[in-house]
Amino acid sequence: MKKVFAAITAGLLCLTLFAQGTVTTRKYRLNDFTDKVTQVVLSGNAILDGVLRQEVLNHWKASAFEFCTAAEFESRKTSDQYYFLLLADTKLKAEAEPGITFLTLVKGDPAAKDGVGKMPEVISLPVCAADGTGGRELLYLGALVNAVQTFTLAAMESEKTAYQMEDWFSDKYAQDVRNKRIYLAITDIAPQVSERDGEKYLDDDILLCDDEEEADRMFQLGSYNTLVGFVVAPSNPAANAWCYKMLVDAETHTLCYLRRHKITGKAGVGFLAEDLKRMAKGR
């Protein structure tokens, strides 16, 4: 699946969003989520749209949904009668150019006439580098669609959850799945992680794979009691760009670990020693 995205990124919406933007009362804003129609915005690219369409059909149960084009999104985005699920090349505050494509759920709002960044954001999850040089995102997109839905339903019930997305997903690991087998591609380990770190935190059930394909195979097989690592970062990260690290349950396609760190000379792209420490805690 490597490089498959390189040919299709031209169809992506290129939007400027500030992930996890501040909303006065998110729980209140979300109280109508299950009653509104979620518009799933298609990019116009056949490959990407085909995967997104199928994964929404497979996983989206919380609200009624319709598929719409980018042009229809532009005409409807100011209506508070809709939520919108879309893939967007996103520029975070520290970046001059979009570095990561996020799967984002936003609510229609009259303020959107001044730009998409004015729309109330519910959740944004990293999918791939904005230039589409990965390919793994097609495999894990369904898990991300499912994660958007499950988080939003939880945020409707809890103001704390609504403001602490990262902790909510990572708490699922600590509470429910920390004793599962974990497969991590060695290419998803940050270069600063030492052999000593590995000896200290890895065990017989935290396994390093020689390449991404080996780890992805465990996910494709729907392996029982298994988590697979997935890392998203810009292809050419600028200073203070973010790296996102996730663990996804191979059997249930549940996102159960989400952490991010700023990429620096001391913290490169991939799982850090502190991530391995978190995984090992209590096992």
pLDDT in tens, 88-103: 888 777 677 889 999 9
Q: Report residue 133's pLDDT band, with 50, 70 and 90 as the boundaries.
A: low
Q: What is the mean pLDDT of residues 201-218?
A: 93
Residues 267 and 237 reside in one and the same domain: yes
Q: Provide the whole-model pTM.
A: 0.88
Question: Is 140 in the same domain as 37?
Answer: yes
Residues 107 and 83 in one domain: yes
Q: Is the dihedral of CA 125, 172, 192, 208 positive or negative?
A: negative
Q: What's the average model confidence in pLDDT over 116-131? A: 91
Judge if 8 and 146 occupy the same domain.
yes
Q: In Å, how far from its chain's centre is CA 91? A: 15
Coil, helix or strand for 106?
Answer: strand
d(CA 183, CA 199): 16
The whole-number pLDDT of residue 173 equals 81
Residues 150 and 17 in one domain: yes
Note whether 106 and 194 are same-domain residues: no
Domain that holds residue 115: 4-158
Q: How many domains does the chain have?
A: 2
pLDDT classification of 2: cutoffs 50, 70, 90: very low
- 23 and 66 inside one domain: yes
Task: Name the CA dihedral angle for 40, 260, 236, 128, rounded to a multiple of 10 degrees.
Answer: -30
Residue 16 has pLDDT above 50, yes or no: no
Q: Residue 41 and residue 224: Cα distance in Å, rounded?
A: 33
Please give the share of the chain, as a percent, with pLDDT higher than 70. Answer: 90
140-154, 157-171, 172-186: which has the highest mean pLDDT?
140-154
Q: What is the mean pLDDT of residues 125-135?
A: 84
One domain, residues 266 and 184: yes
